[in-house]
Structure 1
């Protein structure tokens, strides 16, 4: 019955798309172009104008989202019965909010003076936030800047931090906000650098005996304040968590071992995966230490496309790093190539295997206005298929924008298709966070993380990867270039 409802929903959506003669006012027009047959062809000028209009509407979210008391970004804003305001925030939210200020200036939506004022206000509040050895805690109340136990949780300000979880990946994304701030706003650079230097990412590195432990040399997922590292590791390199490896290597707080010791695919005997990885062993010498490392260059395949998998098969895991790290140019035989193939495989899986009229499986709000959040991903692309697979019942617009620089035409066409099939998905602040492609039900929320990914993607797509350029000139990020350029994934 579930499959029957799914097919009926997809059929109705396709019929609606084909029968729509006049698109809604808020929808993108369908400009004629000759590049549509080539999913990787560059965007046309007409398409760029349409994307620029989306950027203008998306930026309005950030004005509404900044808490007027503290200037901290609220986690989300909701409409149509969804929770109205998520007055809590995280280190990642803070980091990407710095991005969005820069994106708005780049795209001509605000002046440099205005951007500097906004960045200064946010930086001033961040300087006040309680920290543990320079690291941000997981959650803060945006109304007063106090540390809290979780969204809607209890006030922890002034209480002992012992045992509080310090997230590796969240603090790495926070660090990216400081990096772009110091590069774009020179007058703020000393303050941003001071906050950046206060964090020793080496605490997240497992420096155990690599000859005895398969996870030694990888990153811990976090640190329990005053107690010790978390009990889990980031074992997969193709995940959003690799940003912490970039930061750790670039700050010289982690050795380059972390790059080579983190797996391209899980070891073949790990039964979590749904397919046996294919590939070969390759030996590399670390650019910093010169030490040799033998790496299994493994890949998966689905719908006839080879790719290095992520943990859950989501677009967010595979492509978020490419917003700020020049993977497309520095890693033409590694992540630059994989980012494109990964996007193509996701597109094929959603449209050919799931028979959806649109694609874009990535963590997002649930499409039911409950205010919940879930992980969505393509199971055939995931390392976790046999243990804890992600859901496949929601499509999120941010996934299309993540693909704009690697499969421009396919991404643009999917953005159009989303609006034509589900006209209610595009509203006052741009795209709502998710839609159930079978029923058409929309999650009427805007998340600061997902809106920020859209803004950064538009900055890259419309301005020749300007967002990447802001980061590439920083020595912390520049350290990634020899790792990306040296490695060759087992991809045709």
Structure 2
């Protein structure tokens, strides 16, 4: 079964994204690579706060600082002072936060606090106090102790596990999501390397995390990641997924995994899970090469035939395919969205570590999104986010996705058929966080796009850019999602701070372990 996009599980409530156990991976395996903060002999010796750098050429420093300051204000408004657990979302006037949160949201707040500190929005003391409050709440929260992982849903007001959905009363079965766990893990690693007073506590929380429990060495493509696992058979759910029980190694109790779901494409946010597993020595390096780049050319059902060739890395045969669209050969994701391509890049400098793969693909993906959006709507940046008419939707560029059902750039879900003339697209929806992610690779073009979105639509409020804009009707999703705001802050931190989150994430041993794996590959993407 092909991967379902786990993005914004906090909003779309995709608790059905299921998982499985890395049945043959020993839970007791030591995390040798990251047993202490990378580059430091002992916990408690992280790097000192950084300093903001100059704005990229073609951008305005004052405007970037305003966008950064207002985006941080939304994170502050979403976060109760007594728990430090950021809410999933808040209304556009910053008055009414949601009453649920996830590990991804919590992680996003932690790395946003580091960015706010290093860019001079808050003092180091305030950053430390905010982070300490969050970490101490996390320390006391109920979680899955054998894996060290947190469940998908908590009440941000007191840190309690959610068993009934606040908005509907529908039952919720505790679920450990591989990708939500990973974004929290990434944030804890950043804090451990970035904030001296909180290094030990962040390190303890990070060190107990077992990313190998999500890898499946028994699958026909070994070590692909499951979506996660339930702590009990999810029969209370209104539409329970098909699951199977397995013993979690060394834990003594079974957990329930969705039986037929793996994340199997490399252009996906879930590669951060594989990165963390490799960095901690919990999964082998060849796990990175198991995911599809494109589906192989002999498969006839995909919408677009790939171009490329087979290569072998660490004994794994890999079809280095790409999609040829708008003059760029680009390795596609599942849905063709910006966050699939670039969210892991907020933490890992993939383009410099892997110039023949990600160094080609990241700018190509940005170029295709820009060309598509400008040609059809006059604006660009497509990634899952709010729907301007209400709810949530998966926005993307269909030609950059492997999903036959598509992520679409317009409300009408206009499908592009390979070999046919470009269709007439309908009401395009752009998502500002996608353009901010792109700023890491095309700063001036992304900046101009965002300036136009702010000027031409009622798209900006007290917390920065609202979540999504219909460029045809002008309708705006006037709310903020904490994950989208955290992606904006993460990207701005790298753009204005010289890759500050990338430095904190990859210091020392992390780079020595992971960089050689990424460096050996050559994608089918054109330069």
TM-score (norm 1): 0.83
| 1:356 corresponds to | 377
Does 2:395 correspond to 1:376? yes
**Aligned equivalent of 2:354, options 331, 345, 351:** 331
Query: Which 10-residue stretch deviates more, 322-331 or 233-242?
Result: 322-331
* Structure 1 residues 154 and 188: CA distance shift in structure 2, 3 A: farther
Partner Cα distance (1:364, 1:151) in 2: 20
| 1:172 corresponds to | 182
* Structure 1 residues 151 and 322: CA distance shift in structure 2, 3 A: farther
**Aligned equivalent of 2:161, options 124, 147, 166:** 147
| 1:187 corresponds to | 197
In the alignment, structure 2 segments of 5+ residues that lack a partner are: 1-54, 232-253, 412-428
Partner Cα distance (1:327, 1:169) in 2: 19
Question: How many angstroms does 1:391 deviate by?
Answer: 5.6
Does 2:147 correspond to 1:137? no
* Structure 1 residues 303 and 154: CA distance shift in structure 2, 3 A: closer
| 1:93 corresponds to | 105
| 2:499 corresponds to | 465
Does 2:410 correspond to 1:410? no
C-alpha contact (below 8 Å) 1:325/1:471 kept by paired residues: yes
* Structure 1 residues 221 and 268: CA distance shift in structure 2, 3 A: farther
C-alpha contact (below 8 Å) 2:342/2:362 kept by paired residues: yes
**Map 1:199-348 → 2, pairs under 5 A:** 199-208=209-218, 213=220, 215-225=221-231, 226-231=254-259, 232-270=261-299, 273-285=302-314, 292-348=315-371
* Structure 1 residues 316 and 93: CA distance shift in structure 2, 3 A: same
Does 2:108 correspond to 1:111? no
Query: Which 10-residue stretch deviates more, 125-134 or 222-231?
Result: 222-231
Q: Deviations over 1:305-345 (max 9, x none)?
A: 11110000101111111111111211111112211111111
Partner Cα distance (1:322, 1:130) in 2: 30
Partner Cα distance (1:86, 1:392) in 2: 27
* Structure 1 residues 139 and 271: CA distance shift in structure 2, 3 A: farther
Q: Deviations over 1:200-236 (max 9, x none)?
A: 1111111116xxx2x3331111122332433300110
**Aligned equivalent of 1:434, options 465, 468, 487:** 468
C-alpha contact (below 8 Å) 1:343/1:403 kept by paired residues: yes
* Structure 1 residues 90 and 474: CA distance shift in structure 2, 3 A: farther
| 2:478 corresponds to | 444
Partner Cα distance (2:169, 2:111) in 1: 28
- Would you tell me which structure has more helix in proportion to its own residues? 1
Q: Secondary structure at the match of 2:379?
A: coil
C-alpha contact (below 8 Å) 2:398/2:406 kept by paired residues: no
Partner Cα distance (1:154, 1:200) in 2: 33
Partner Cα distance (2:512, 2:133) in 1: 28
Q: Secondary structure at the match of 2:176?
A: strand
Q: Secondary structure at the match of 2:308?
A: strand
**Aligned equivalent of 2:140, options 128, 131, 136:** 128
Q: Secondary structure at the match of 2:216?
A: coil
| 2:63 corresponds to | 50
Q: Secondary structure at the match of 2:341?
A: helix
Partner Cα distance (1:61, 1:151) in 2: 24
**Map 1:384-399 → 2, pairs under 5 A:** 384=403, 386-390=404-408, 392-393=410-411, 394-399=429-434
C-alpha contact (below 8 Å) 1:361/1:392 kept by paired residues: no
Q: Secondary structure at the match of 1:347?
A: helix
* Structure 1 residues 271 and 366: CA distance shift in structure 2, 3 A: farther
C-alpha contact (below 8 Å) 1:248/1:254 kept by paired residues: yes
Question: How many angstroms does 1:253 deviate by?
Answer: 1.1
* Structure 1 residues 366 and 155: CA distance shift in structure 2, 3 A: closer
C-alpha contact (below 8 Å) 1:325/1:477 kept by paired residues: no
Partner Cα distance (1:449, 1:249) in 2: 25
**Aligned equivalent of 1:77, options 55, 65, 90:** 90
Q: Deviations over 1:132-156 (max 9, x none)?
A: 1311101001112111136526999
Question: How many angstroms does 1:294 deviate by?
Answer: 1.9
Query: Which 10-residue stretch deviates more, 295-304 or 217-226?
Result: 217-226
Question: How many angstroms does 1:62 deviate by?
Answer: 1.8
* Structure 1 residues 154 and 351: CA distance shift in structure 2, 3 A: closer
| 2:19 corresponds to | none
Question: How many angstroms does 1:475 deviate by?
Answer: 2.9
Count of matched residue positions in the alignment of Structure 1 and Structure 2: 430
Partner Cα distance (2:325, 2:95) in 1: 38
* Structure 1 residues 151 and 339: CA distance shift in structure 2, 3 A: farther
C-alpha contact (below 8 Å) 2:103/2:180 kept by paired residues: yes
